[in-house]
Amino acid sequence: MAQKAIREYDAKSILAKHWDKYFPDFTYAYETVMVQNGSELAEAAKTKTWLNEKPLVAKPDMLFGKRGKNGLVLFKDEKPGDVSLEKAASWIDEKSSSKQTVYFAFDGDTPTGEPSVDMLTHFIVEPFTPHDQSEEYYISATVVGDEDVLYMSAEGGMEVEEGWEEKVTEVAFPITATEEQIASKIKANIPADVKEEDKENFAKFAIGFFKAYRELNFAYLEINPFVLQGNKVELLDMVAKLDDTAGFMMVDEWGDVEYPTSFGMEEKSPEVMAVEEADAKTGASLKLTLLKPEARIWTMVAGGGASVVYADTIADMAGIEDLANYGEYSGGPTTGETKFYAETLFDLMTREKDPSGRGKVLIIGGAIANFTDVAKTFTGIIQAFENYKDKLKEVDTKIYVRRGGPNYEKGLKDIKEAADRMGLYIEVYGPETHVTDIVRMALEK
> Which residues of this chain interact with other proteins, rule CB under 8 A?
1-3, 143, 145-146, 174-176, 214, 217, 219, 243, 245-246, 248-249, 262, 265, 287, 289, 291, 302-309, 311-317, 320, 323, 326, 328, 330, 366-371, 404-406, 431-432, 434-437, 439-440
Smallest gap from residue 366 Cβ to other proteins (A): 7
- Cβ 214 to other proteins, closest distance in Å? 7
Angle at 253 between CA 249 and CA 257, to 5 degrees: 95
CB neighbours of residue 351 within 10 Å: 11
Residues paired with 362 in a beta bridge: 298, 399
For other proteins, the closer CB: 196 or 248: 248
What 8-state DSSP symbol labels residue 232? Answer: E
Q: How far is the CB of 201 from other proteins (least distance, A)?
A: 27
Asked whether the beta carbons of 287 and 279 are under 8 A apart, the reply is: yes
Q: Is the Cβ of residue 306 or residue 348 nearer to other proteins in the bound state?
A: 306
The answer to whether 333 and 342 have CB atoms below 8 angstroms apart is no
Residue nearer to other proteins on the CB measure, 228 or 374: 374
Closest distance to other proteins from the beta carbon of 383 (Å) = 24
Helices (H), 102-261: 158-162, 164-167, 179-188, 199-215, 251-254
Rounded to whole angstroms, what are the CA distances from 443 to 240, 297, 319, 342, 438?
45, 10, 11, 22, 8
Write down the least CB distance from residue 232 to other proteins, Å: 31
Query: Cβ neighbours of residue 363 under 8 Å, at least 6 residues apart?
Result: 297, 298, 299, 300, 301, 310, 314, 400, 438, 439, 442
- Residue 237 identity (one-letter amino acid): D
Please give the full DSSP string across 77-113, using - where no structure is assigned: SSSBT---HHHHHHHHHHHTSS-EEE-SEEETTEEES
Minimum distance from CB of 143 to other proteins (Å)? 7
- Between 80 and 305, CB nearer to other proteins: 305
The answer to whether the CB of 169 falls within 8 A of the CB of 191 is yes
Nearer to other proteins by Cβ, of 50 and 326: the residue is: 326
* Shortest spacing between CB 305 and other proteins, in angstroms: 3
Would you say 18 or 54 has its CB closer to other proteins?
A: 18
Nearest CB to other proteins, comparing residues 236 and 274: 274
Closest CA to 187 of 152, 160, 159, 145: 152
Q: Which is nearer to other proteins, 175 or 188 (CB)?
A: 175
What is the Cα–Cα distance from 221 to 240, expressed in whole angstroms? Answer: 4
In angstroms, rounded to a whole number, what is the distance separating the alpha carbons of residues 154 and 57?
Answer: 24
Nearer to other proteins, 146 or 196 (CB): 146
Nearest 10 degrees: CA dihedral of 268, 272, 273, 278?
A: -160
User: In the complex, what is the shortest distance from the CB of residue 416 to other proteins, in angstroms, rounded to a whole number?
Assistant: 20
**Smallest separation (angstroms) from other proteins to the CB of 178:** 12
**Do 220 and 241 form a contact (C-beta atoms < 8 A)?**
yes
Sign of CA dihedral 189, 195, 198, 200: positive
For the chain, the straight-line distance linking the first and the last C-alpha, in angstroms and rounded, comes to 37
Q: Rank residues 32 and 325 by Cβ distance to other proteins and give the closer one.
A: 325
- Residues counted in the chain: 445
Q: Rounded to the nearest whole angstrom, what is the least distance from the CB of residue 375 to other proteins in the complex?
A: 12
* Rounded least distance, CB 112 to other proteins, Å: 16
**Which of 274, 309 has the CB closer to other proteins?**
309
Of 334, 215, 279, 245, nearest to 3 by C-alpha is 245
